[in-house]
Amino acid sequence: MKLDQIDLAFLYLAITKNGKFNEQDLAGSDLAYLGVGRTLDKIAYLKENNLIGLDGVFFTITDAARQILWNKDEPLQTRILKILQIKSFEEQDIAKYLNESHDTIQQQIDESRKLGLLIFTTIKKDERIIKVCELTHDGQQILQIQSLDPTSQLLRTLDDIALKIQGSKIEESKIKSMLEKLRAISAELAQYQPVK
């Protein structure tokens, strides 16, 4: 499911309010500018997609929504890349939305940047120049692979290995033998791939 910046703001409001928010919380938040109609539309959308629920006068964040960005079992790098899928953010905003320390986020961003998963770009905002993190094509691909089921991930990895073997300077007979083994493994795994 693809979230937008307003979806993120609703879910973050719930996170900051111990998992639930009400009308007064909305009125006192950055979301007040939406107005009644857009707010109701967004709440309906989030509810339809099982991201918030209704508990009396409170809107509650669901476990499914928590898993998107706030699952501490998921690597921080993945969570950073996911938030950058929504929008390019400054480091401090990433730290804020993910409920992590700025130092921790800064360290992970540096590591991700060195791997080519994100880049810094400068933009003009409110008459000042700011530096934001932006997801790269490689970062997008990592998220796409991680969203696959384990069998699909393994099949994709085997395909990548096969391509590297084909492009290597190994003896032709050895290449043929390795590729045959990889194809046999891939064919065996394909039988266990979930039906979509």
Which CATH number is 34's domain given?
Answer: 1.10.10.10
For residue 148, the model assigns a pLDDT of: 59
Q: What does R_g of the chain's alpha carbons equal in angstroms?
A: 22
Contact (Cβ atoms closer than 8 angstroms) between residue 158 and residue 179: no
Determine, yes or no, domain membership for 196: no
Determine, yes or no, domain membership for 143: no
Query: 153 with 175, same domain?
Result: yes
For residue 89, the model assigns a pLDDT of: 95
Considering 39, 67, 95, which residue would you say is the last residue of a domain? 67
Determine, yes or no, domain membership for 90: yes
The residue among 51 and 147 whose pLDDT is bigger is 51
Q: What is the mean pLDDT of residues 142-164?
A: 73
Query: 77 with 134, same domain?
Result: yes
Determine, yes or no, domain membership for 83: yes
Determine, yes or no, domain membership for 195: no
pLDDT per residue over 101-129, tens digit each? 999 999 999 999 999 999 999 988 888 89
Query: 83 with 125, same domain?
Result: yes
Q: What is the mean pLDDT of residues 26-40?
A: 90
Query: 134 with 77, same domain?
Result: yes
- Check whether 164 has a pLDDT greater than 60: yes
Q: What's the chain's average pLDDT?
A: 87
Domain span at residue 30? 5-67
- Check whether 195 has a pLDDT greater than 80: no
Query: 40 with 11, same domain?
Result: yes
- Check whether 160 has a pLDDT greater than 60: yes
For residue 96, the model assigns a pLDDT of: 95
DSSP string computed for 65-128:
HHHHH--TTS-HHHHHHHHHHH--B-HHHHHHHHT--HHHHHHHHHHHHHTTSEEEEEEEETTE
Query: 123 with 167, same domain?
Result: no
For residue 196, the model assigns a pLDDT of: 46
**Euclidean distance between CA atoms 105 and 82, whole angstroms:** 14
**Euclidean distance between CA atoms 195 and 186, whole angstroms:** 16
Considering 67, 89, 104, which residue would you say is the last residue of a domain? 67
- Check whether 72 has a pLDDT greater than 60: yes
Look at the chain and report how many structural domains it folds into. 3
Q: Which of 9-13, 66-70, 125-129, 169-173 has the lowest mean pLDDT?
A: 169-173
